[in-house]
Structure 1
Amino acid sequence: MAALDTFPDLPRPGEISVCERNGRICSLPANEVNSSSSYNLLSYPEINIGRELFHHAATHIREDRRTIMVPVNETLLKRITRTFFEEGPVEALNEAANCVNEQYNPLIGSLARYMLVLVNIGNRIKFFLKPHLKEQGIDSVGKFTQTKEWSKSAIRCICWHPNCFKIAIAASDDSIRVYSDEPSIVPILKSGLQKSVSSLAWRPFTSGELAVGCQSGTLVWNIDPNSLITRPLSQAVQLRYENHFPVTSIEWSPNGCLLATASINDPDILIWDVDQNRQVPLRRVGPPCALLKWSPTGSRLCSTTVGNVFRVWQTNKWIPDRWTINNGTIQSIVWSSSGSHLLFVTTEECFLYCLGFVEDEVFTSTLVPKSALPVADLSKIIIDQVEVGGRPQALAWCPQSQYLAITFKDTSAIAIFNTAINRTELNITPSCFLTGIGIESASCICFQQNLGRRSSEKKKTVLTIGWSSGRIQYFPFV
């Protein structure tokens, strides 16, 4: 089993690793680092979201409307009605229960207090049957995203287009910027419905169709690649279904025909035909779904829940295999390029687990118990007086299944493993640690494969890192 204590040392103080070349890590002094000025990355845009517009109110701070309004004399019924439409029925009952010096107050106040008691009893029963409903709102969304400290991070999501040179970045002001190799044009996507963005997904085989998972549900943007304006005129199309919001995970099928969405308030997965604006729910009894990941071959879809259950669906018949873990929930999942292996980490254990799928069978024999095998120990250790490892935050596996990157909840360094698959066996070996500048920590990561504009260009794999400062770094393996 691989372990962090067999890794090479961290970069020296004041230095940053900038690429891997022929198995060797190249480093530069931090003051000489440029995100894209060397190692054949000249066409990559230099991005620092932290320097760009941030004139927005913190999303986790809510001001009471009544504190910023000019006081007026309102009747009790008007106050209750206004509170009902602005803040909901429970706050309206609280307003009625707390009223004083009004005509008919004893009757209205007593009735409101009696109804609040019934509401509290109903909530206790509901939370007993469905404990996950206790955690709702912005904090619950951040708990099930792949981004470290999602609610505070300048960068909330990064997503490379699977077919062309285009990257979408969601910022904490709920805007999405789309960068390409044309630096003078950066479309900015904003909408009143686009709040608390948690996931992004480009539609395969289209040049500008981007799905966004957010508080109101799913939005689908269609960006004209020939447009010369930075703010597209078209509005996003909203995909909304009953209680299926907020959406915490979205995944296009590899052929781009179907869109799968998951919400932490809904146990059902929705499979959308976006062109027809139709959906089919995959209904299951149990805790709501939190995270989705389609295998690169399209034959399987892995779905996790807010509990200890996860499922692997066979998409030809939409039949799931049900799995459970001992503690916590699934934190992150990734598929190998062939769909033969699934790697995952949990919220409570410092291990990397692997499930093998060969010819629709787990492992190679039905006599072997169906269970996940730990392949790497990620327990926290100290290297050069710096803590690394611990509880994992997110996984990213390169398209060739050669490099695996792991970020951690409580430490800032990124662990890179070399991986190789020999049909049923996964070999995983330590490679290096990546660190940021100063006190930076990795907020989110993803791989992008650049096939080159000409057949003579050498293929390379690039790990894209969104640091907590808002800086984007490209780390190539060449």
Structure 2
Amino acid sequence: MAWHPHKEILAIANRNHDVYIYEREKSQWTCKVLKHKFMIDITALAWKPKAGGTLAVGCRYGVCVWNFTAESAPLQSPQKGVQIKSASSSTMRYHPNAWMKYLRTDGHEHIASLTWDPSPGSHLLAAVSANNSTLMIYDTLTLTGTPLKRYGKGNLLVRWSPDGDWLYVATSTGSIRIWETEHWTSTTYTNPPGLWVQAACWAPDSRSLFYSMRGKSDVHLLYRSGPSINAGNTGTVVWEARNHGH
């Protein structure tokens, strides 16, 4: 499930491999369906910030990037026809103006999490896989992908900071990687043995990240201290961890 960042639109993934797009039009909610043969085992949804209607859908074998704008050009076959379905009191039909770009990298399957670069004018999308430790950075404008490989078994979660300068990745082995996105270097931190991150979110100032670990009721804080890295500056950024128990 994912709310649009600045519109009254809600995307919900269904277990039948469809995505329902609920949109408020005037005083009523309408429902339109996204469906494609590539959307198998949907695991993640992410709206593109500062965009009217672009939704990334993480699936078993890759990422489907849907665009709902009228000006978009088809890169995959559009959904054919309009089908009416009934569900409760709602009327649903296939989205008539949706086009899809399909991003796939060999070996990078079972997409676990997605996040968009919020920087103005950026078309970058980060995707992590549950079965390998590579971080994929896709350019959805040029349809190219850059793999950032690290040792490990897989990744669970990825979150881009609000200022676009940092990328947080939680691994399935319990470690955390913080990437700085100017030079794409990373720093690794290790959680206590047997614990891995379940949920995480950035603070609006991009200096603090809160996360929880499965099986614990504590909220942990990863925050930045020391000087920031500026263009042409090789200063060090120090990240420190704190624990906030209930």
| Interval of TM-score (by shorter of Structure 1 and Structure 2) | 0.7 to 0.9
Letter in 2 for 1:271: I
* Aligned position for 2:56: 211
* Aligned position for 2:6: 163
Alpha-carbon distance in 1 for matches of 2:48, 2:220: 29
* Aligned position for 1:336: 203
- Quote the offset at 1:373 in angstroms: 1.4
Determine if the alignment matches structure 1 residue 355 to structure 2 residue 222. Answer: yes
Tell me the alpha carbon deviations over residues 10-29 of structure 1, each in whole angstroms, 9 at most, x when there is no partner: xxxxxxxxxxxxxxxxxxxx
Letter in 2 for 1:239: L
- Quote the offset at 1:162 in angstroms: 1.6
* C-alpha contact 1:214 1:247 (8 A) present in aligned 2: yes
Counterparts of 1:182-261 in structure 2 under 5 Å? 182=25, 183=28, 185-224=30-69, 230-233=93-96, 234-255=98-119, 256-261=122-127
* C-alpha contact 2:223 2:239 (8 A) present in aligned 1: no
* Aligned position for 2:164: 298
Structure 2 length-normalised TM: 0.79
* Aligned position for 2:78: none
Per residue, is there more helix in 1 or in 2? 1
Aligned sequence identity (%):
27
Counterparts of 1:64-213 in structure 2 under 5 Å? 158-182=1-25, 183=28, 185-213=30-58
* Structure whose alpha-carbon radius of gyration is higher: 1
Alpha-carbon distance in 2 for matches of 1:270, 1:220: 15
Tell me the alpha carbon deviations over residues 301-358 of structure 1, each in whole angstroms, 9 at most, x when there is no partner: 0001110211011111111111001132111111101111111111243311111114
Tell me the alpha carbon deviations over residues 134-180 of structure 1, each in whole angstroms, 9 at most, x when there is no partner: xxxxxxxxxxxxxxxxxxxxxxxx21112322221112222211122
Q: Secondary structure at the match of 2:94?
A: coil
Tell me the alpha carbon deviations over residues 201-251 of structure 1, each in whole angstroms, 9 at most, x when there is no partner: 11122212110001121111112469xx63135553210001111111010
Alpha-carbon distance in 1 for matches of 2:180, 2:240: 18
| Number of equivalences | 211
Gap regions ≥5 residues in structure 1: 1-157, 362-368, 378-478
Determine if the alignment matches structure 1 residue 267 to structure 2 residue 133. Answer: yes
Counterparts of 1:22-41 in structure 2 under 5 Å? none
Determine if the alignment matches structure 1 residue 375 to structure 2 residue 220. Answer: no
Q: After TM superposition, what 4+ stretches of structure 1 lie above 6 angstroms from structure 2?
A: none
- Quote the offset at 1:287 in angstroms: 2.5
Q: Secondary structure at the match of 2:31?
A: coil
Alpha-carbon distance in 2 for matches of 1:246, 1:187: 25
- Quote the offset at 1:376 in angstroms: 2.7
* Aligned position for 1:416: none
* Aligned position for 1:346: 213
- Superposed CA RMSD in Å reads 2.1
Alpha-carbon distance in 2 for matches of 1:370, 1:303: 14
Letter in 2 for 1:231: Y
CA shift in 2, pair 1:161/1:249, >3 Å: same
Structure 1 length-normalised TM: 0.42
Gap regions ≥5 residues in structure 2: 72-81, 83-92, 229-237
